[in-house]
């Protein structure tokens, strides 16, 4: 499948591609072999695979560049291009598609192209691939092939797209590493280059020359679309010679396949493909479709498979009959009629949007709703989903949060239903308002299908009347997210004498406010007959509370916010409609045009861009300090980079699927696996009784079970009870669902407050919290509260809740465990710490550590989540591997990964702070509580680091922090970028903001006034050394770089003139300690081999997870040995090469492993210097050979232990020490725009200045800063974990509600700062690390809190306009749209919540 089509275009021998007994579809008595083309090769589709996805098939065939990231079309890692011939236009249509959802048989008759099919390192990279690699747009690389294919598919369909089109094309792709700026820059620059070429071609085109493929002017002299980098597909049937065809299609690399001639000529036929689990039907005629539906009333009709595919994968739903309506002409028709725009049920959302844009632009009166539909669809999912999702699929699922259905209700759309009747077709029409009967229930009768939807044309409209329709959608994330509230509103306004307008007709549909899409009849009644103006709006706002009132425990939660949004719908519509009236129109009320414009406006989002700056390398000729691309970038962009699940499986490898607890706290009384074991292909069920060694595990304390044993307490939902092992993953899934577990339930403890009340703390904190104390904190605060402190001094008290954060590494937890001889076990795992895996596997198996080897080539993201929580999965998989003597593969689905492996720790911070009238701090008493989950894991060092950072950069003469880790019945929480530091610092920024509000100063003034000075000492006793403490200098430099003062004045002026759209500007510093706080972990080793051809191999103890560690190690080695970078290679991390390695964590790995490598290379250089006969970078080959012939050792081991740090002893009465080697420092300025009616916020600009010493690789370091910042934006502005707890009683108790990318939203490209400026501080030497560099991975993360602080300022401006004054208000993290909207506290929220309302948060 990797090879391209032969030059002749004729099909190759099919024997290698089609299984024996090839798939045969019966159509009209003729046998038809269903086929597709994959990367130019003709492929017969296998039989009996109706339930299979295209992704499964591709990966089975070795095309592993297409990744499985989520399985529900929410991350884009599986993106491929599917091309199909479009007879109407005479060319193929190229579409990006999610292979994880695409049914295998849906691509019958299509050409599929994967990332392997467009370019590779041997044949040459495609420009899309090459540009992304060169732009540093790939870090961990797991998401990279998906981005490549989304951009490639766009540019095959539109060779010269706009920047906005590029951004939209990438909206369905997620990246957790880069921060998106380099990705967006790579592809928008490519598109701009293509547009320039397109313009040049058009200018040079001979008069009258028209491209037969597109109908546009063409200067190519052939049939290709002009310009662009990719060209368009061939149109002429005779273009079968390789040269002519490739030139016509504009293909630029040898690997790119032509669109097959066979598929251009092939007439699609009806299909029936039977299988053991599902039979696939693809009718070609309407009566055949209806006959199938009649014969199989419970059959599922498949369009985009976004509903059925997710149910099959995650809920185990099996549908024996699947029907694809995609080739029925009546269902794919899209045409204008006298009644309006008639849309066939199988029309894709992409095609509907395009037609609606056309109608809205050229013929707006033909269908007033067209513009609203087009507007709504631009935010519907990603391009990969819209390209295949159908109108009927969206409508007939009857989701209460459907994007389209409220518009259909509002505009009076008509549903045309069809069924079989007497061998013919009978139809009936149902108004959209009557179509939705209940939750997931419609007016369709058994045997009916949705034939078409008609968007109506207004009839009998009076002269001068205005038919106005607008859409509304509010979600957590603007792009590719399900709605919280969605709506459509229509009014028909007719002119009256005197210039006013009267409402003749009104339609209001809403979703997200009831179990179904509703028609707001009270609002409609309140509007009809009213003169358009403020009185009409006020009547509608009163009426909406009759239509929309939600109880506190409403499913989905957020009742206050959702009710406030229902009012915002009407207010925004009023503003837009009023602004659409003629200038002479008379509108009653005192609402100004400026207020209307601010209410109608949307938050501005532009494609992320920016130009980073960094200091020049110290040695321009050296390798260190150069902005080299990631050493694996070209492999990653071409899909050649292998991750754990990409490696060929060992012979007879089995597949394991976990059985997990479904109760948050319950004793397991029995496990019955008999039904599972009876299934064909199942090899066994393995649990605690099968563990040959110690079932108790843990990275620090052995306080959790590998498998929950019968008689033990299952401590949470998601606790591992056992593994089902089978010959295939599909069989293992079915069998796992058949295992029955019996429980004796107990009352769970789920939140921090519950744990405090119950006295549940993790064991080694006992009754004594870890405490840092300087001065007389209690005494000073008490004195000030008694009025005995300095004149005017006061005390503020407060608290903040900080939610958790899912790691959402794109590569899920993965391992393959292979048994060897004599108890040996080899583990391939995606882990940040192979050593922990080795230790845990050996302990569970009861074998010596020297019999277990753990290997890690690369990780598809880690962020701390794979430091400790990966190991127990390998240990579990090792049990059946040892018992059965066969390799076992265990790869978690995204939902299981999220349910089982823990998150960033939620925190509760409480404080009392004393201060003077000028904002100078006198004392701060801080209490920190974390939710550690059911076991210790790393919760104690995490809460310790939170305490170490709880002062951020502020000197408080009397300071006390008490920190405790709580035990709850949630999955064990674990390390995440920042390791508790960000939680401690955001508590500090909360009390700084509280103090600033109390004294009437900007928070930035209070921050700067209280900065530490060089020579001062932190509460834990570490001096901030003169010459190394740079926060005050960074602050001043960034203030100038970001033009802070000028912009602050401009924002004040903007806010004065804008009531409902506000902006905020904030500046925040950070100080992050570098080192593991456990002293013994600060060590690293490297093994360097020199070969006689002059190449160098390095093996070290760190793992590569996108942070560029291997690249930096290569640079340091090349620099130390004086050889080209290409001569150095880093091998996989393996415990049999480097033993006892510390985790790749704490941002310290470059310090440890680059220094260890440098030390080894320096020893080798000394040893080889007598043999050096030549200068320049080619010297090593001759010297190495000469040394070898002289029997000189060409291998060296380097070992580095961080000097001068001390082990911090919390048991001392006043603990002091030096836990950190040095501090990485920085500051950020963020400008945020906030829609006060919805709470939607966007970062307009972010300026970051980091002190990273002398960077080893400034481009990689900038990438780490950008990625950390955007991940931090997710933490404090967007990502919310919701559990079934006391705050969310509507959810299943103890269960994670926000599972998968559909419910849990990480930042997408549109969430990154539109203007993203990262600067690295110049002249900042660091004598405490290799080549004067500094660690970078974690420190920038917290600087995203500048956006959180800016959003607070924007909300404060709104509160001030609403008459709420300038008092401090609580803003928990994350500052989601819900929290920001409710913080604005205005007349539209007054009837649903108090001014000091605090939204619910799982914590």
Catalytic residue positions, numbered: 1338
CA nearest to 767, candidates 756, 782, 783: 756
Task: Residue 1291: name the closest of 668, 657, 483, 748 by CA.
Answer: 748
Question: Would you say 1250 and 1339 are in contact if contact means Cβ atoms under 8 Å apart?
Answer: yes
Rounded distance between C-alpha atoms, residue 1231 and residue 606, angstroms: 14
Could you tell me the two tokens for 482?
Answer: 């399900």
At residue 1023, the 3 state secondary structure works out as strand
The residue among 597, 1345, 1384 whose CA lies nearest residue 993 is 1345
Residue 802 has which token pair? 């900080």
CA atoms of 1205 and 564, how far apart (whole Å)? 54
Nearest to 452 by CA among 402, 504, 417: 417
Tokens of 1288: 């969310």
Residue 635 sits at φ, ψ, to 5 deg, of: -70, -35
Which residues pair with residue 903 across a beta bridge?
A: none
- CA dist., res. 811 & res. 141, Å (int): 10
- CA distances (Å), origin 1128, targets 1093, 1165, 1168, 1180: 12, 15, 17, 12
Which residue from 1392, 1386, 1315 is spatially nearest to 599, judged by alpha carbons? Answer: 1386
DSSP 8-state secondary structure symbol assigned to residue 1155: H
- Helix, strand, or coil (residue 1010): coil
CA contacts within 13 A on the Cβ side of 1065: 17
Query: Does residue 232 contact residue 213 with C-beta atoms inside 8 Å?
Result: yes
1072 three-class SS: strand
Is 419 in a helix, a strand, or coil?
strand
What's the CA gap between 967 and 936, in Å, rounded?
A: 8
Rounded Cα–Cα distance for residues 574 and 537 (Å) = 7
> How far apart are alpha carbons 961 and 927 in whole angstroms?
6
Cβ count near 163 (within 10 Å): 17
Mark out the alpha helices in 548-605 (DSSP H runs).
559-580, 593-600
Bridge partners for 1040 per DSSP = none
Q: Which residue has the tokens 């704490």?
A: 1146
**Are 957 and 775 within 8 A, CB to CB?**
yes
Chain center to CA of 543: 39
Beta-strand pair 654-660/888-891: parallel
- On the 0-12 / 13-18 / 19+ scale of CB atoms within 10 A, 1172 is middle
Say how far apart CA 1147 and CA 808 lie, in whole Å: 19
Instruction: Calculate the alpha carbon distances from 1227 to 949, 1025, 1060, 1071, 1264 in Å.
Output: 15, 19, 29, 9, 15
Place of tokens 């991390």: 1133
Contact 642, 140 (CB under 8 A): no
Q: Are 127 and 228 in contact (CB under 8 A)?
A: no
Give the distance, in angstroms, between the CA of residue 363 and the centroid of all CA atoms in the same chain.
Answer: 39
* 612 alpha-carbon distance from chain centroid: 23
From its phi and psi, is residue 980 left (phi > 0), alpha (psi between -120 and 50) or beta?
left
CB 700 within 8 A of CB 836: no
Structure tokens at 933: 């989950």
CA nearest neighbour of 80 among 141, 33, 37: 37
Whether the Cβ atoms of residue 641 and residue 633 lie closer than 8 Å to each other: no
């Amino acid at each position: 499948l990797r090879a391209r089509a032969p030059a002749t275009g004729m099909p190759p021998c099919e024997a290698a591609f089609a299984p024996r007994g090839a798939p045969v579809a019966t159509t009209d008595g003729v046998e038809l072999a269903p086929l597709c083309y994959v990367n130019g090769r003709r492929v017969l589709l296998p039989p009996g695979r109706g339930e299979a996805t295209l992704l499964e098939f591709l990966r089975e065939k070795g095309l592993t560049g297409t990744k499985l990231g989520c399985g529900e079309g929410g991350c884009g890692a599986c993106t491929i291009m599917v091309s199909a011939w479009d007879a109407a236009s005479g060319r193929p249509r190229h579409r990006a598609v999610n292979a994880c959802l695409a049914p295998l048989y849906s691509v019958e008759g299509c050409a599929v192209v994967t990332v392997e099919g467009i370019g590779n390192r041997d044949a040459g990279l495609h420009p899309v691939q090459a540009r992304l690699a060169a732009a540093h747009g790939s870090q961990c690389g797991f998401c990279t092939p998906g981005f490549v294919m989304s951009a490639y598919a766009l540019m095959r369909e539109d060779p010269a797209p706009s920047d906005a089109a590029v951004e939209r094309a990438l909206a369905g792709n997620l990246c957790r590493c880069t921060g998106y700026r380099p990705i967006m820059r790579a592809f928008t620059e490519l598109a701009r280059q293509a547009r320039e070429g397109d313009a040049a071609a058009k200018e040079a085109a001979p008069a009258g020359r028209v491209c037969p493929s597109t109908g546009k002017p063409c200067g190519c002299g052939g049939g290709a679309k002009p310009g662009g980098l990719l060209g368009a597909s061939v149109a002429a049937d005779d273009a079968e010679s390789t040269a002519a065809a490739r030139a016509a299609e504009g293909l630029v690399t040898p690997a790119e396949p032509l669109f097959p001639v066979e598929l251009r000529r092939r007439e699609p036929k009806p299909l029936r493909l039977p299988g053991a689990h599902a039979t696939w039907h693809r009718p070609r005629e309407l009566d055949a479709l209806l006959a199938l539906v009649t014969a199989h009333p419970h059959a599922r009709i498949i369009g985009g498979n976004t509903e059925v595919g997710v149910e099959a994968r995650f809920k185990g739903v099996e549908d024996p009959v699947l029907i694809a309506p995609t080739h029925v002409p009546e269902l794919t028709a899209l045409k204008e009629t006298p009644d309006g725009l008639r849309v066939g049920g199988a029309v894709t959302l992409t095609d509907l949007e395009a037609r609606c844009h056309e109608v809205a632009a050229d013929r707006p009166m033909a269908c007033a709703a067209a513009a609203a539909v087009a507007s709504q669809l631009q935010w519907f999912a990603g391009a990969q989903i819209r390209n295949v999702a159908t109108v009927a699929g969206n409508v007939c699922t009857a989701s209460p949060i459907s994007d389209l259905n409220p518009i259909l209700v509002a505009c009076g759309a008509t549903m045309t239903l069809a069924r079989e009747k007497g061998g013919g077709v009978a139809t009936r029409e149902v108004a959209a308002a009557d179509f939705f009967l209940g939750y997931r229930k419609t007016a369709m009768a058994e045997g009916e299908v949705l034939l078409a939807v008609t968007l109506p044309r207004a009839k009998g409209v009076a002269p001068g009347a205005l038919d106005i329709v607008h859409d509304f959608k509010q979600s957590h994330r603007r792009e590719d997210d399900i709605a919280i509230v969605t709506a459509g509103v229509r009014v028909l306004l007719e002119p009256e004498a005197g210039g006013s307008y009267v409402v003749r007709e009104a339609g209001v549909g809403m979703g997200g406010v009831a179990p179904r899409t509703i028609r707001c009849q009270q609002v409609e009644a309140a509007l009809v007959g009213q003169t358009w103006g403020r009185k009409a709006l006020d009547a509608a706002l009163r009426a909406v509370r009759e239509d929309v009132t939600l109880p506190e425990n409403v499913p989905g939660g957020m009742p206050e916010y959702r009710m406030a949004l229902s009012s915002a719908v009407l207010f925004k519509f009023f503003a837009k409609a009023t602004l659409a009236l003629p200038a002479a129109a008379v509108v009653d009320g005192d609402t100004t045009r400026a207020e209307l414009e601010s209410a109608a406006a949307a938050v501005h989002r532009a494609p992320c861009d920016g130009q980073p700056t960094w200091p020049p390398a110290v040695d321009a000729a050296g390798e260190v300090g150069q902005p080299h691309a990631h050493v694996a970038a070209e492999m990653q962009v071409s899909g050649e980079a292998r991750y754990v699940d990409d490696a060929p499986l060992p012979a007879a490898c089995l597949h394991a699927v976990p059985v997990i607890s479904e109760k948050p706290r319950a004793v397991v009384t029995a496990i019955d696996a008999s039904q599972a074991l009876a299934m064909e292909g199942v090899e066994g069920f393995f649990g605690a009784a099968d563990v040959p060694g110690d079932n108790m595990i843990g990275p620090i304390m052995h306080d959790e079970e590998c498998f929950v044993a019968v008689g033990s307490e299952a401590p949470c939902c998601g606790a591992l009870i056992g593994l089902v092992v089978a010959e295939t993953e599909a069989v293992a899934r079915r069998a796992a669902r058949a295992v029955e577990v019996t429980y004796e339930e107990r009352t769970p403890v789920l939140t921090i407050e519950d744990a405090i009340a119950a006295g549940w703390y993790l064991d080694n904190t006992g009754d004594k919290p870890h405490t840092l104390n300087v001065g007389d904190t209690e005494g000073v605060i008490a004195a000030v509260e008694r009025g005995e402190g300095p004149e005017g001094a006061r005390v503020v008290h407060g608290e903040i809740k900080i939610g958790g954060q899912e790691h959402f590494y794109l590569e899920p937890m993965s391992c393959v465990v292979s048994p060897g001889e004599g108890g040996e076990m080899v583990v391939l795992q995606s882990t940040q710490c192979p050593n922990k895996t080795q230790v845990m596997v050996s302990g569970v198996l009861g074998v010596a550590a020297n019999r277990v080897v753990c290997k890690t080539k690369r990780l598809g993201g880690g962020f701390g989540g794979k430091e400790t929580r990966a190991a127990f999965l390998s240990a579990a998989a090792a049990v059946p591997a040892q018992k059965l003597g066969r390799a076992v593969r265990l790869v978690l689905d995204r939902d299981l990964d999220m349910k089982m492996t823990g998150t960033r720790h939620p925190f509760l911070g409480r404080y009392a702070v004393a201060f003077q009238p000028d904002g100078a701090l006198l004392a701060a008493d801080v209490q920190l509580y974390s939710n550690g989950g059911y076991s210790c894991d790393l919760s104690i060092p995490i809460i310790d680091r939170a305490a170490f950072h709880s002062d951020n950069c502020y000197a408080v003469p009397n300071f006390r922090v008490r920190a405790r880790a709580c035990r709850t019945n949630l999955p064990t929480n674990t390390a995440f970028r920042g390791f508790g530091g960000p939680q401690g610092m955001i508590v500090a920024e909360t009390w700084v903001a509280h103090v600033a509000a109390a004294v009437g100063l900007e928070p930035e003034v209070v921050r700067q006034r209280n900065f530490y000075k060089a020579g001062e000492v932190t509460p834990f006793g570490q001096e901030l050394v003169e010459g190394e403490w740079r926060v005050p200098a960074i602050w001043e430099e960034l203030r100038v770089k970001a033009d802070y003062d000028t912009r602050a004045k401009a924002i004040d002026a903007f806010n004065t003139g804008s009531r409902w759209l506000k902006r905020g500007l904030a500046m925040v510093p950070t100080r992050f300690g570098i080192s593991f706080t456990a002293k013994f972990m600060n060590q690293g080793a490297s093994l360097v081999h020199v070969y006689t051809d002059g190449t160098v191999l390095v093996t070290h103890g760190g793992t590569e997870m996108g942070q560029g560690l291997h690249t930096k190690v290569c640079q340091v080695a090349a620099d130390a040995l004086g050889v080209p970078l290409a001569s150095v290679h880093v091998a996989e991390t393996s415990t049999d090469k480097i033993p006892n390695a510390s985790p790749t964590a704490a941002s310290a790995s470059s310090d440890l492993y680059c220094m260890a490598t440098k030390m080894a290379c320096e020893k080798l250089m000394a040893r080889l210097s007598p043999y050096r006969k030549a200068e320049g970078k080619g010297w090593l080959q001759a010297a190495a050979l000469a040394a070898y012939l002289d029997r000189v050792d060409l291998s060296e081991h380097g070992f580095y232990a961080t000097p001068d740090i001390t082990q911090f002893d919390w048991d001392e009465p006043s603990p002091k020490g030096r836990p950190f080697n040095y501090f990485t420092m920085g500051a950020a300025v963020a400008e945020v725009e906030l829609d006060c009616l919805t709470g939607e916020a966007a970062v307009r600009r972010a300026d970051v200045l980091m002190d990273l010493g002398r960077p080893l690789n400034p481009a990689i370091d900038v990438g780490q800063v950008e990625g950390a910042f955007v991940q931090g934006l997710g933490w404090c502005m967007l990502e919310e974990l919701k559990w079934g707890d006391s705050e969310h009683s509507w959810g299943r108790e103890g269960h994670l509600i926000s599972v998968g990318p559909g419910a849990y939203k990480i930042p997408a490209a549109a969430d990154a700062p539109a203007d993203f400026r990262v600067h690295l501080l110049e002249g900042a030497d660091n004598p405490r690390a290799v080549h004067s560099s500094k660690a970078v991975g974690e420190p920038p993360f917290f600087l995203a809190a500048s956006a959180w602080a800016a959003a607070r300022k924007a909300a404060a401006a709104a509160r001030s306009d609403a008459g709420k004054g300038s008092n401090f208000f609580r803003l928990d993290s994350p500052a989601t749209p819900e929290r920001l909207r409710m913080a604005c506290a205005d007349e539209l929220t007054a009837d649903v919540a108090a001014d000091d309302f605090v939204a619910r948060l799982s914590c």
